[in-house]
Amino acid sequence: MATCPQGHASGDDEYCDVCGLQMAGSPAPAAATSPAGSAAPTGAGAGAVVEDCPVCQTPRAGQFCEVCGHDYSGTAPSLAPVSGARWEAVSAADRAYYDQVIAEGGPDAHVVAFPPYCPERSFALSGEQVRIGRRSRGRDLRPEIDLTGPPEDPGVSHLHAVLLAQHDGSWTLVDPGSANGTQVNGKPVMVNVPVRVGAGDRIHLGAWTVITIREGTP
Rounded Cα gap, residues 14 and 161, in angstroms: 46
**d(C-alpha 14, C-alpha 188), whole Å:** 43
Q: Is the pLDDT of residue 19 over 80?
A: no
d(CA 13, CA 25): 9
How confident is the model over 70-97, as a mean pLDDT? 67
Count Cα atoms within 13 angstroms, Cβ side, for 90.
Answer: 14
Return d(Cα 105, Cα 212) in angstroms, integer. Answer: 25
Cα gap 45→103, rounded to integer Å:
54
* pLDDT interval class at 149 (50, 70, 90): confident
pLDDT of residue 60: 76
Question: Rg of the Cα trace of the chain?
Answer: 24
80-84, 129-133, 137-141, 162-166: the lowest-pLDDT one: 80-84
What rounded mean pLDDT belongs to the chain? 78
Q: If you average pLDDT over residues 95-111, what whole number do you get? A: 88
Q: Which residue has the higher pLDDT, 192 or 140?
A: 192
Domain definitions of the chain by residue range: 87-215
pLDDT score at 71 = 59
Question: Among the CATH numbers 2.40.160.10, 1.10.3720.10, 2.60.200.20, 1.25.40.10, which is that of 87-215?
Answer: 2.60.200.20
Give the separation between CA 72 and CA 56, rounded to whole angstroms. 13
